Amino acid sequence: MSASPVHLGVLVSGRGSNLEALLSAERAGAFDRARIVCVFSDAPEARGLDVARNFRVAAYAFRPRDYPSKADYEKAVISILESHAVEYLMLAGYMRIVGAALLARYPLRILNIHPSLLPSFPGLHAQRQALEHGARFSGCTVHFADAGVDAGPIIAQRVVPVLPGDTEDTLSARILEQEHQLFTEAVKLVTERPWEIHGRTVMFS
Ligand code: GRF
């Protein structure tokens, strides 16, 4: 680990398997600079919070409905993130559209993972969309979040075949296996390599 770790915060809503993969990678020494310092969920019952606690990482839950507006809710999240000096936010199965307050505080510093080869099949049920479309290949994408849905500049992708007889469950499992590796790869790219954006393309030196 270098003298100046880059602090990451992770937002989850559910199972937290991507969070678990990131924390396991960190503990295995995969990151030269990145350190996961806090985990936040919009759902207090999310398994992802238990994953964080098992790894002894600070875990927080806020319910958006307890706040008068999305902006107020996001301001509360930001104050937690700032208290941990978070520089990059990872959306690991965070089932909400990121609002203007978070985007303004972390421009090009929010990474989302999505279970398709974007720009194909954005939004919910990406694996089902790929099957219903008859795609031969799908995959997963890590991209910077922007005001669109699964729309920001792409950081890294992996291709996964759609096999005859696949169901939503079998395809999702095959993609998830790749997601777990891809998110780690993306964290390493943005925290260990200088990068800049040309148009929509993220260029790594
Ligand atoms: C993953 O498939 C991710 O791509 C999508 O939501 C799912 C979250 O799974 N955004 P987990 O909570 O990381 O297990």
> For the residues of 93-123, what is the DSSP string, one character each?
S--S---HHHHHHSTT-EEEEESS-TTSS-S
Give the whole-angstrom CA distance, residue 74 versus residue 70.
6
Give mean pLDDT, residues 158-163.
98
Average pLDDT over residues 119-128: 98
Is residue 63 over pLDDT 70? yes
Instruction: Sketch the domain layout of the chain as residue ranges.
Output: 6-204
The minimum-distance atom of ligand 1 relative to the CA of 16 is 12
pLDDT of residue 3: 58
Q: Whose CA is closest to atom 14 on ligand 1? A: 17
The closest residue, in CA terms, to atom 1 on ligand 1 is: 93
Cα–ligand 1 centroid distance for 83 (angstroms): 26
Q: Is 65 exposed, middle or buried (0-12, 13-18, 19+ CB in 10 A)?
A: exposed
Spatial distance between the Cα atoms of 170 and 60, rounded to a whole number of angstroms: 32
Contact 94, 113 (CB under 8 A): no
pTM of whole model > 0.75?
yes
CATH architecture of the region 6-204: 3-Layer(aba) Sandwich (3.40)
DSSP string, 130-174: HHHHT-SEEEEEEEE--SSSS-S-EEEEEEEEPPTT--HHHHHHH
- Cα 172 to ligand 1 centroid, rounded to whole Å: 10
Residue 114 is among the residues annotated as catalytic for this protein: yes
> Residue 1 pLDDT more than 90?
no
> For the chain, what is the mean pLDDT?
97
Contact present, 16 and 90 (Cβ < 8 Å): no
Q: Which residues line ligand 1 (CB under 6 A)?
A: 12, 14-18, 48, 92-93, 113-115, 176, 179
Q: Take atom 12 of ligand 1 and give the residue whose Cα is closest.
A: 16
- Range 113-131 average pLDDT: 98
Q: In the prediction, which pLDDT does 4 show?
A: 86
Residue type for position 93:
G
Handedness of CA 180, 182, 195, 28 (dihedral sign): positive
Residue 34 bridge partners (DSSP): 6
